[in-house]
């Protein structure tokens, strides 16, 4: 699969006065419009020369969110892992401390057993 926008012609939709004089007249393509969850539209022209299947999703050129071909049902934005809260850090440290204590206890028992052996 070819990735990267440079490989795709005609992505500059409506850019510049030369837009209407597309050289693609003899190179038919398919314009596909993708809709992101923020309501942006991204139109991508896929060359008919390639046999590649049209993708179901495309990264929005405006916000980078995944965009789909169905305007009524855009793909959900990827869930972003929230930053750890201070409380989470504290709890984690507590767990670490408890784990260390348990380890010490276990080691202590081992030493006792070895001492008596």
13: which DSSP letter? T
Structure tokens, 78: 């990827």
Site for Zn ion contains 38 (CB under 5 A) = yes
Residue 27 CA neighbour count, 13 Å, CB half: 12
Q: Is 40 in the site for Zn ion (CB under 5 A)?
A: yes
Taking the least distance from each CB to Zn ion, the nearer of 36 and 44 is 36
Size of the site for Zn ion (CB under 5 A): 6
* Contact characters 7-36, Zn ion, x per CB under 5 A: -----------------------------x
Cα 49 to Cα 79: distance, rounded to the nearest angstrom = 36
- Contact between 63 and Zn ion by CB under 5 A: the answer reads yes
The span from the CA of 54 to the CA of 103, in Å, is 56
Rule CB under 5 A: say whether 76 interacts with Zn ion. Answer: no
113 is in an annotated binding site: no
* Chain CA centroid to CA 67, Å: 11
Residues that bind Zn ion (CB under 5 A): 36, 38, 40, 60, 62-63
């Amino acid at each position: 699969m070819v990735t990267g926008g440079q490989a795709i012609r005609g992505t500059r939709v409506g850019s510049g006065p030369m837009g209407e004089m597309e050289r693609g007249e003899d190179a038919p393509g398919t314009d596909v419009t993708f809709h992101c969850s923020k309501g942006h539209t991204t139109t991508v022209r896929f060359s008919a020369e390639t046999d590649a299947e049209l993708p179901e999703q495309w990264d929005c050129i405006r916000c980078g969110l995944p965009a789909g071909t169905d305007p009524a049902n855009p793909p959900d934005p990827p869930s972003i892992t929230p930053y750890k809260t201070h409380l989470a850090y504290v709890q984690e440290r507590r767990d670490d401390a408890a784990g260390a204590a348990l380890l010490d206890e276990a080691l202590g028992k081992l030493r006792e057993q070895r001492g008596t052996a």
